Amino acid sequence: MDPHLPSTVPPPSQALILVGAALAVAWMLLAGGCANPGPKTPAHATAASLPVFHRQDLLWLERVSFGIDAESVGALHRLGRERYLDRQLRGPQAPFPAPLGAELANLVAARPDPERVLADLSAEYKRINAMPDGADKEQARKALNDEGNKLANQAIREELLRAVYAPSQLDEQMVWFWLNHFSVHQYKANLRWLVGDYVDRAIRPHALGHFKDLVLATLEHPAMLQYLDNNQNAVGHINENYARELMELHTLGVHGGYTQQDVQQLARVLTGVGISAVDPPKLKREWQNLYRRDGAFEFNPARHDFGDKLLLGRTIKGRGFDEVDEAVGLIVRQPACARFISRELARYFVADDPPARLVDRMTQTFMRSDGDIAQVLREMLLAPELDAALGGKFKDPMRFVVSSVRFAYDGRTISNTRPMLNWLNGLGEAPFGRATPDGYPLTELAWASSGQMSRRFEIARAIGSGSAGLFDGEDGTSPGGAGGFPQLSNRLYYEAVEPFLGAGARDALARANSQQEWNTFLLASPDFNYE
């Protein structure tokens, strides 16, 4: 995991493993006098039972997952990279560990439909506004606000639990990637009530599917329509916010060959695309067939500009929502779109400045497959360019926090995700927390400044020093006996981490005065922070 080690390293020697074991024994002696139990040398951590892991394979696994755990390491060992990847590219197959699977299914099933949400909210606002000023009114406002927070936190809880425990780790990374690519901010308008549904219905079903479907699903979702103001975009009242970001951030990239004219033309195409939670409007006869409604999504011809548009050099005949489908089709088939999306993917999975030849091949695959995301990923994740870049990617906060929990609590299911959210907040990358529509940055430059490094060490300490309530109930109740700090010097550590540690980390670990400190140093090490 240290970027400065040569990229091919022989399998761990028994000597190294014994050093690790000896360290742990020394540990027990040191910690013997303390109230806290020291790390136990796992009975099975003997040289004889250890499979031989290649460092490159482990680093590769770190890229296609949110971090190694015993299950994924074992699966990769059994299957090899290509078969492992092909299983991952099929999306969710294996069930979640019980009882988590049931809980997640219940969360999704219980999630209110956006149309209901918006109708209820509107009624509730009306009721509260009609109340006389005073304590009751404040109370009602607060209750509504609490409800919004609760729903957004449920969506975050679901995302974090899936990131840690989903067997389909690549799919989960893609859900994160697309949520970030089509970023929305929970504190705008009433998005807190909608972000859960946005993940469920706009992002997750298409995470490994076709790019055009993904764009259209976000375009038709009330969360995006409110976030970038297109619900306010109507003929004679143009709001070009979404039209611009749809091309700049979602599809073509800022140098993707479109002009201010194109932004204005696309904004005209998008007039009338909005949301509704009331009965369809009364429309002129010739418009009635053009009206569209799917839940809270609405295309209202009365708000649409029916003139012809000239977008990216092509005339789009004014005729209703079909224009939107045509425009999105036109945009996502531009070579600039294939290149922009390929480059973004490679920046997240391969390197901050990805090799041009790899991006070229991904671009070709994207165009040839009409934007089949799984095919582009396959091209990228089996490429020699990825192999050459392993060990050099700095973990963004989400990868850092999730990989820490996967590693530190391997085999134990946490019950409360609030501490993870606190850590992500502290590091500046909370889900649905990006205020601007560009999403969080994907490169080391944005996450490894001096202030961010010291903050990361603080979080490493928080993770390493106690369970921080990860095993409490969601309501904050503590079941008792579940606390204590994690045992990072576990079997996985000796099998998959210790053999490859750099000298700096080794030295720091040897100087630790307690298991908590040892944990902190390991999580703070360059070895753990690069993949």
Partner 1 sequence: MKRRHALQWGFAALLGAASGPARLFAAPASGPRFLLVFLRGGYDSTNFLIPYSSDFYYESRPNIAIARPDSASTTGALALNADWALAPAVRETIGALYLQRQAAFIPFAGTDDLSRSHFETQDSIELGQPSASARNYRSGFLGRLAQTLGGTAPEPDPIAFTDALPLAFEGASTVPNLSLKNIGKPPFDERQARILNDMYAGHHLETAVRDGLDLRQEVAQKIAQEMLSASRSAVNTKGFELEAERMARLMRDKYRVGFVDVGGWDTHVGEGASQGPLAANLASLGRGLQVFAQTLGTEWNNTVVVVVSEFGRTFRENGNRGTDHGHGSVYWVLGGSVRGGTVAGEQRPVNRANLLQDRDFPVLNDYRAVLGGLFRSMWGLSAVQCDAVFAQVRPLDLKLV
Instruction: Tell me which residues touch partner 1 (CB under 8 A).
Output: 4, 229, 232-234, 236-241, 244, 248-249, 254, 260, 263, 428, 435-436, 438, 445-455, 457-458, 461, 504-505, 507-508, 511-512, 517, 520-521, 524-526
- The residue (of 241 and 369) whose beta carbon lies closer to partner 1 is 241
Query: Cα dist. 426→67, 401, 420, 527 in Å?
Result: 20, 11, 10, 21
- Whether the CA torsion 72, 75, 81, 85 is positive or negative: it is negative
Minimum CB distance to partner 1 smaller for 229 or for 326: 229
143 Cβ partners below 8 Å, 6+ apart?
A: none
Residue 133: CB partners within 8 Å, gap ≥ 6? none
Shortest approach of partner 1 to residue 427 CB, angstroms? 9
Q: Cβ of residue 461: shortest distance to partner 1, in angstroms? A: 6
Q: How far is the CB of 377 from partner 1 (least distance, A)?
A: 25
- Least Å distance, CB 428 to partner 1, is 5
Q: Closest CB to partner 1 among 205 and 441?
A: 441
Burial class (CB in 10 A: 0-12, 13-18, 19+), 36: exposed
The nearest distance, CB 490 to partner 1, in angstroms, is 21
Residue entry with tokens 């036109």? 330
- Residue matched to tokens 């991904």: 362
- Work out how close the CB of 281 gets to partner 1 at its nearest, in angstroms, rounded to a whole number: 18
Q: How far apart are the first and last CA of the chain?
A: 5
The span from the CA of 440 to the CA of 431, in Å, is 10
Torsion angle of the four alpha carbons 117, 118, 123, 125, in this order, in degrees rounded to the nearest 10: 100
Please state the closest distance from residue 262 (CB atom) to partner 1, in A. Answer: 12
For 394-424, b/e burial (b = at least 16 CB within 10 A) is bbbbbbbbbbbbbbbbbeebbbbbbbbbbbb
Q: Which is nearer to partner 1, 167 or 431 (CB)?
A: 431
For partner 1, the closer of residues 4 and 78 by Cβ is 4
Q: Which residues pair with 298 in a beta bridge?
A: 274, 293
Looking at the Cβ atoms of 22 and 445, the one nearer to partner 1 is 445
Q: Which is closer to partner 1, CB of 438 or CB of 474?
A: 438
